[in-house]
Amino acid sequence: MCPVCKSARYLNPDMRFLVNPECYHKMCESCVDRRFSQGPAACPIAGCKRTLRKARFRTQTFEDIKVEREVDLRREVASVFNREEDDFETLQDYNDYLEQVENVTWNLINDIDVEDTRRKMDAYKEENRRQITRNHSNAAQEAISRKAREEEDHELTRLRRADARREDELERQEKSDARKGIINKLATTKGDAASIAREGRRAELKKSSAQRVALDKKRDGDVFAAGTENGDAGSGFTFKGLKKRVAPPPEKPYDPYGGWSAEKEYFSQQDFYDWDYLSNARTDPRHSAGGYDINDYCARALCDAFSGFGVFIEDEVSGRDLGSTPSMATTAAAAVGGERVDAKMEDVF
């Protein structure tokens, strides 16, 4: 029943009730039209002096009007206090923050120190304006990407389902075809009926298992295709699990060695070494056909020869006392370096 015009719902089943977040007094739609069409007016409920505007009337979402109001207040608070867990050093800090926010909300809801709380809230809003807007846009971004993700999932499920249906259909088709085949065969050929039937079934079985494999393969392919398609659809990039706080640094090209490079430190390699032993190999297609590059050979030979320069004898000597056995390669390298024979070399490879 409408408290203003006293018309009851059973007389007018289409009646809709509206509330205004100013005072949350409930009245029917026609009353709202009647009273507030001419602009702002006072609430018609006895004892309520608030001025209401028509535009702000809306239908009630929650049965309990208190919760309706609480949610409105929460919306307001949430628009100011929108920090996230990542903003805090520790979980404990974040939880304390949450509790304080909850306290603020609590005060607003239960009309405790409303003035004071509001003032503090406004101050906070002023101070942290930038942070707040940033978090807002982050949240919006996140919502968008979430939505895209959902849609993608949806699409994938739909595809999968369609596939499964098709698969079932095919199978049924196969089966009935095979059966027809057997019957035809039975009708046209002479011979042992049972063996023909068995034959036919075996063939059918084979076919169906082959089909299954094929379909599985196809499905995997499809899923992949759909996934990539969706990845670069539209303008907004939707990376899953993107860290939202800091913009990620621009991505460098992938370096498989992780920053380690094989710069030649002690020698520079010539393009061409005039050495009879090599000239044959250089021209022989049997070498180059396999992808063998003479320059690699030269580089390695030079490396073998000069790497010994990177050895610091003092370190090695102290290392030697710990009982290291020199290997062939290092011995050679050290010899080239013109230094002590038993110096140990760090094996880079």
Partner 1 sequence: MRFNIEELEVLFPYPSIYPEQYAYMCDLKRTLDAGGHCVLEMPSGTGKTVSLLSLIVAYQQVQPEKRKLIYCSRTMSEIEKALAELKALMKYRTEQLGYEEEFRGLGLTSRKNLCLHPSVKREKSGSVVDARCRSLTAGFVKEKKERGEDVEMCVYHDNLDLLEPHNLIPPGVWTFDGLLKYGESQKQCPYFTARRMMPYCNVIIYSYHYLLDPKIAERVSRELSKDCIVVFDEAHNIDNVCIESLSIDLTEDSLRKATRGVNNLDRKITEMKSTDAEKLQSEYAKLVQGLQEADEARNEDAFMSNPALPDDLLKEAVPGNIRRAEHFVAFLKRFIEYLKTRMKVLHVISETPPSFLNHLRDLTFIERKPLRFCAERLTSLVRTLELTNIEDYQPLQEVATFATLIATYETGFLLILEPFESDTATVPNPILHFTCLDAAIAIKPVFERFSSVIITSGTMSPLDMYPKMLAFSTVIQQSYTMTLARKSFLPMIVPRGTDQSRITSAFQQRNDPSVIRNYGNLLTEFCKLTPDGIVVFFPSYLYMEGIISMWQGMGILDTVWKYKLILVETPDSQETALALETYRTACNNGRGAVLLCVARGKVSEGIDFDHHYGRTVLCIGVPFQYTESRILKARLEFLRETYRIKEQEFLSFDAMRHAAQCLGRVLRGKDDYGIMVMADRRFLSKRQQLPKWIQQALDDKYADLSVDQAVSAAKAFLREMSVPWSRVEQRGVSTWDAEDLAMHKAKQEEEMIRMLEEEAQNGGGMVEVDEYGGDDLDEVMADLDA
Q: Which residues bind partner 1 (CB under 8 A)?
A: 61-64, 67, 70-71, 74-75, 78, 91-92, 94-102, 106, 109, 146, 150, 157, 160-161, 164, 168, 175, 179, 197, 201-202, 204-205, 208
- Shortest Cβ distance from residue 76 to partner 1 (Å)? 10
35 binds, among Zn ion, partner 1, none (CB under 5 to 8 A by kind): none
Cα(66)–Cα(209) distance, integer angstroms: 63
Residue 222 CA, chain-centre distance (Å), reads 20
Nearer to Zn ion, 25 or 344 (CB): 25
Nearer to Zn ion, 48 or 225 (CB): 48
215 binds, among partner 1, Zn ion, none (CB under 5 to 8 A by kind): none
- Shortest Cβ distance from residue 10 to Zn ion (Å)? 14
Nearest 10 degrees: Cα torsion 281, 285, 291, 294: 20
Dihedrals phi, psi of 44, to nearest 5 degrees: -75, -10
Nearer to Zn ion, 70 or 167 (CB): 70
43 binds, among partner 1, Zn ion, none (CB under 5 to 8 A by kind): Zn ion
Structure tokens at 283: 């021209």
Q: How many CB atoms lie within 10 A of CB 345?
A: 19
- Shortest Cβ distance from residue 307 to partner 1 (Å)? 50
Cα(51)–Cα(41) distance, integer angstroms: 5
Sheet (strand 17-19) strand order: 26-28, 17-19, 58-59
Region from 39-47, 93-101, 104-112, 247-255 binding Zn ion, contact rule CB under 5 A:
39-47
Q: Which of residues 326-345 bind Zn ion (CB under 5 A)?
A: none
Residue 59's SS3 state is: strand
91 binds, among partner 1, Zn ion, none (CB under 5 to 8 A by kind): partner 1
DSSP string, 262-331: ----S----S----HHHHHHHH-HHHHTTT--HHHHHHHHHHHHHGGGG--HHHHHHHHTTT-PPPHHHH
> In the set 43, 77, 121, 345, which binds Zn ion (CB under 5 A)?
43
> In the set 18, 19, 28, 148, which binds Zn ion (CB under 5 A)?
28
Q: How far is CA 104 from CA 66, 108, 120, 122, 207, in A?
A: 17, 6, 9, 12, 70
The residues that touch Zn ion, with contacts defined as CB under 5 A, are 2, 4-5, 23, 25, 28, 31, 43, 45, 48
